[in-house]
Amino acid sequence: MTAGDTAGTVEHTAVSERAAIWLWLSIAAAVLALAGSVIGLTVDSIYADLTSAFLPQALAQDIANLALAAPAMLICGILALRGSLRAYLVWLGVVTFTVYNYVIYTFSIPFGPLFPLWVAVLGLCIYALIGGFAAIDRDAVAAWFLIVVAMLFSLLWLSEDVPALLAGDTPQSVIDMAFPTNPVHVLDLAFFLPAVVVTGVLLLKHRPFAYAAAPALVVFLILTGVPILFTPFVQAAHGEAAGWGVMVPIGALTVALLGVLTWLLSTVRADERPSAESDRPS
């Protein structure tokens, strides 16, 4: 080679090449989720057996999937494959939300033609989430702690559950949806909100894994609020009493979380596949 030739360029990306398979799994899941949401919103028989209280929530969730969650998983997955660490962190949160969401789909909605699709989305996203966290370069991420937000959500659910337990009654949301229990409360209180609290504690201890998990959990909390905000509009469209009271607290919390996410991602420095200096022969 002459002195002007480049012997080679060493590229480094904060998104490990090991993550590619998990990103592709999520892209496949996003395509299936988009198709499922379109069918759920256009084919009346899909949700024909739901109660009048549960139907608006299911439709609002499909709207959130179609308009936000599935496209975000698809776009962030593609950008992460191109080396964007910010997109990868948002992707982790979207996949977390999708796992949560499709646990509810598969266990709460009566068996029907979309059941295999929902199971496929759930399985793909579970593996994508586990593999995605294992593959991330945790040292490149700066984050924030989430304990207060987790406690607020916990208090919100417990404010319904604890008084009912003390009075020997059933929570009104469980009665309205004709469920044995509220799956949202179960998933949040048993797993997701404790995970947020643990991440906050680990952040205070400066553990690297927590710095990777924090932005993903912020995204999860943002997406959790979106169907809640859509539900009153769907209720009003169906001529039912709309629960507009949730708009201010959940809306304010969602906006605050968006601000936190913006700040978190602004601290990320290892962004788009930075290249090391070319190694030139002497």
162-166, 246-250, 273-277: range with lowest mean pLDDT: 273-277
Rounded average pLDDT over 141-161: 74
81-85, 242-246, 268-272: range with lowest mean pLDDT: 268-272
Residues 6+ apart with CB under 8 A from 262: none
pLDDT category, 266, cuts 50, 70, 90?
A: confident
Encoded tokens for 137:
């370069």
42-46, 104-108, 215-219: range with lowest mean pLDDT: 215-219
Chain length of the chain:
282
Look at residue 102 and tell me whether its pLDDT is greater than 80.
yes
Most confident residue range from 60-74, 175-189, 264-278:
60-74
pLDDT of residue 213: 80
Measured distance CA(279)–CA(6) in Å, rounded:
7
- Identify the CA nearest to 143 among candidates 100, 188, 224, 89: 89
Measured distance CA(125)–CA(129) in Å, rounded:
6
Three-class SS state of 11: strand
- Tell me what percent of the chain is helix, strand and coil, each rounded to the nearest 5: 75, 0, 25
Rounded average pLDDT over 154-176: 86
Encoded tokens for 250:
């959940």
Measured distance CA(109)–CA(169) in Å, rounded:
24
Rounded average pLDDT over 211-228: 83
Q: Any idea which residue has 């916990």 for tokens?
A: 154
Asked whether the CA dihedral 203, 207, 212, 216 is positive or negative, the reply is: negative
Instruction: With 0.85 as the threshold, say if the pTM is over it.
Output: no
The two most distant CA atoms of the chain are separated, in Å, by 85
Look at residue 87 and tell me whether its pLDDT is greater than 70.
yes
Buried b vs exposed e over 228-248: b needs ≥16 C-beta within 10 Å?
bebbbbbbeeeeeebeeeeee
Residues 6+ apart with CB under 8 A from 168: none
Q: pLDDT, tens digit, for every residue of 28-70?
A: 999 999 999 999 999 989 998 898 888 998 999 999 999 999 9
Look at residue 103 and tell me whether its pLDDT is greater than 60.
yes
Q: pLDDT, tens digit, for every residue of 108-138?
A: 888 989 999 999 999 999 999 999 888 865 5
pLDDT of residue 224: 84
